[in-house]
Structure formats: structure tokens, C-alpha cells
Structure 1
Amino acid sequence: MTIRLHEPFPQAVDRVRAALKDQGFGVLTEIDVRATLLEKLGETMEDYLILGACNPPLAHRALEADRRIGLLLPCNVVVRTEDGDTLVEALDPQVMATVSEQPGLEPVAEDAAGRLTAALESLRR
């Protein structure tokens, strides 16, 4: 799930956070890959941020269906720059239902996918 925004990275990150919040997601983790690689390896790269987004009711439902699903939580959303634009990418949560093979995860994954899609689509406006 990817969208391309024609706006600067800092503004895009703020909008992504707001869009996720509007869909009931909080950001539990944030990894600034660019800063980490610079600090640890002296390597430079484009802006690249990984946001670990979590919707607590959905996470609870998923964990009730399959405790192993924690290996795939939270939903990672990547915000990065490419060719002067900002890309926002998210893994389709329905992948977790496929990996788990637990039928109880399918409705949770569909709900999460719908919310992430709505968040991304709201950024197009």
C-alpha cells in the first residue's frame, strides 16, 4: 500500500501521524533510519522513518485470535523520500491473516486494512 505525496518530508510525517490518529492508530515506535545509519555507520541516505502504528482494540482482537501475531505487530508505516517526493508505504495487514492461518484473524486484518487504506487515502486530499 503506497502513496506518493508532492510535499516536503516533515509536513508529510505530520500529516501521516494525524491520518493514523484519525483512524484510531497511535504511534508506539519510531525509527529514524537515516539518523541511525549516520550515527552508527557514518552512512548517509534519504529521509526514512518507520512508524510502528497500533490500534489497541484491533491489536487486542488479533492477540486473542493468535498470540503469535505479536511477531507481526505493530503495523509498520514507512515515510521516505524519493525523487523529490515523499512516499508513504504500509504493509497490508491482511498478510498477517495469511501468515497465521487463523480464521479469527481475517476480520481483524480486514478492519485494520480498511483503516490503513482510509488513512493513506486521506493524505491524497
Structure 2
Amino acid sequence: MNFTHTVKTKKSIDNTITDLSENLKEIGFGVLETLDFKKILSEKGLEFTDEYKLMEVCNPHLAKQVLEANPDLGLLLPCTIAVYQKNNENFISLARPTSLLSMASDENLKISGEDIEDGLIKVIENTK
């Protein structure tokens, strides 16, 4: 299994971010923060020509379940979605929760990881 789920989008980076933010609400997720790496690197004096934005997204109820089961797994939170340009094309990429949670021995968390991943992939597919 791939560590990521990546799709192309014909939308602009900003429109993709806006649409993802809205569509994530349908599955109880919100955007905690969006990191703009082009801007961050530029502020550090480094040139980075392509857009690269990292969305930190979270469902508070699911995060609570993970943290209560194993506080160390908080290091894997929040879920991360990248929206970026490469070779003049735009992409949406999800770090698969099942890959991240595969380190957990709790079967309930693995099931939750699959549910989370399925919902996030559906949102990405509907947004692209």
C-alpha cells in the first residue's frame, strides 16, 4: 500500500484549499492550519518556485479517541493534506492515516484509521 493518496486537480491551489476546507466539514473535519511553504521558505531567504501548502486537518472526536487510547499516538495527529504544484500541474496528496496508525496494536484504532482514510479520500476525490 502507498503511504499517500495523490490525485491531480485542474483547480488553482487557492480554490482547491477553499473547496477542501468546505468539503471536510461534511465528515466532521476542520482545518487547524494551512502552512504555505513557498512563503515560509521565502521568509528564510530560500527560493522555492512552486506552490506547496500543507493543510493540518482534524476531527476533534476522533482525535480524542486516539489520544485516550494512546497519548503517544498524538504525535501522528493531525491528518495532513498537501496541495501543491509540480511540473505546472496541481495535486492533492493525503498522508494515509492507516499507514501512520499501522504502528498501533489496538484493533479499534486500525478500524478508525480505515474509516478516517475512507472519508478523507472521498472528500479529496469530490474536490479534485
For the criterion TM > 0.5, the same-fold answer is yes
Aligned length: 124
- 1:14 positional shift: 1.1
Match of 1:106 among 103, 110, 125: 110
Check whether the contact 2:7–2:92 (CA below 8 A) recurs between aligned residues: yes
User: 2:66 is matched with which residue?
Assistant: 62
Which segment drifts farther, 50-59 or 103-112? Answer: 103-112
Which segment drifts farther, 100-109 or 114-123? Answer: 100-109
Check whether the contact 2:56–2:81 (CA below 8 A) recurs between aligned residues: yes
Match of 1:6 among 1, 10, 14: 10
- 1:24 positional shift: 1.3
Q: Percent identity of the aligned residues?
A: 28
State the 4+ residue runs in structure 1 displaced beyond 3 angstroms: none
User: 2:80 is matched with which residue?
Assistant: 76
What residue ranges of structure 2 are gaps of 5+ in the alignment? none
- 1:77 positional shift: 0.5
Check whether the contact 2:12–2:90 (CA below 8 A) recurs between aligned residues: yes
1-structure distance, mates of 2:88, 2:43: 24
Check whether the contact 1:79–1:89 (CA below 8 A) recurs between aligned residues: yes
2-structure distance, mates of 1:75, 1:119: 13
User: Root-mean-square deviation (CA), in Å?
Assistant: 1.4
- State the TM-score, normalizing by the size of structure 2: 0.88
User: 2:42 is matched with which residue?
Assistant: 38
Question: Are residues 1:47 and 2:51 paired?
Answer: yes
- State the TM-score, normalizing by the size of structure 1: 0.90
Question: Are residues 1:97 and 2:65 paired?
Answer: no
